[in-house]
Copies of this chain bind each other. A is one copy, B any other.
């Protein structure tokens, strides 16, 4: 497994998480095992487990309760990706085929459900009721946010406020839950838990905005999926919203939702317009603001090597190209 070099101080913990993720795939049925292995070995950056571990380092934490949580958070994340890809009809993720590229809808739904259950079981292994509760509520937040989007497709997010709300639900809520729960498990004080939660929240917002920018400006080869994927799925993100603020004359509806014929070409031209405009720079400024806020949230915590990793992680995620 590759571990981001900046995670070196928590390498031992992340290696155990990796083993436990692998164990979560060890089920009796060989077909199901192969699918779970494919999902769990496919090498995400494991940012969320790292956040759990890092956030637990500001008090005397019991690593045997932190590691199940770190594993649970990655399983929950994987479960939501499985259902998301099905919802979006995505056939590629990180350059690899998604489950729905090869399996029936029913199988994909059940694999996601199984991962939720496995995640909940590991959350229970923390032996902390508040942690299980944070966990369950985060899943409620993620689902409610997505349901809103599904019901209002074509009309949502309509505003920057909608966009930020949706970004919180789909990404920042789990980042915030990871740091909050990690801190809570360690027995850290209320203000420390809050500071770490705020760090996770702002980091998650910045992370998603950068993701949304890369969907316009990234390299298809690096991203492992085509540019403009969000638009093609009818998902409106910050760069487009900012572009529309300064180009009220551009009507995006025909490009995205109406009239199949020539749709692909219209989407490409819309991507080019957004990429060539100042919207990218403005979106980038927004991501930078959240990055700064995330770093400020933990400025009063003890200046340990773990806090340094968290500060470096914020910069790394802002500068990343995939």
Contact = CB atoms under 8 A, between A and B. Distances in A.
A137 B87 CA distance: 26
A166 to B, nearest CB: 13
B132 A110 contact: no
Nearest to A117: B139
Interface in A226-267: none
A98 to B, nearest CB: 14
Interface stretch (A3-11, A122-130, A187-195): A122-130
A16 interface: no
Interface string A93-112: 00000000000111101111
Interface residues of A, number: 44
B135 A114 contact: no
A30 to B, nearest CB: 10
Contact of A147 (B107, B118, B135, B143): B107
Interface in A121-173: 121, 123-125, 127-129, 132-133, 135-137, 139-140, 142-144, 146-148, 150-151
A293 interface: no
Interface in A21-49: 27-29, 31-32
Given A27-B144, A116-B116, A129 B139 contact: no
Interface of A: 27-29, 31-32, 83, 86-87, 104-107, 109-114, 116-118, 120-121, 123-125, 127-129, 132-133, 135-137, 139-140, 142-144, 146-148, 150-151
Given A32-B151, A87-B110, 11 more contacts: A28-B144, A29-B144, A83-B113, A87-B105, A105-B105, A106-B150, A110-B150, A113-B116, A113-B139, A117-B136, A127-B129
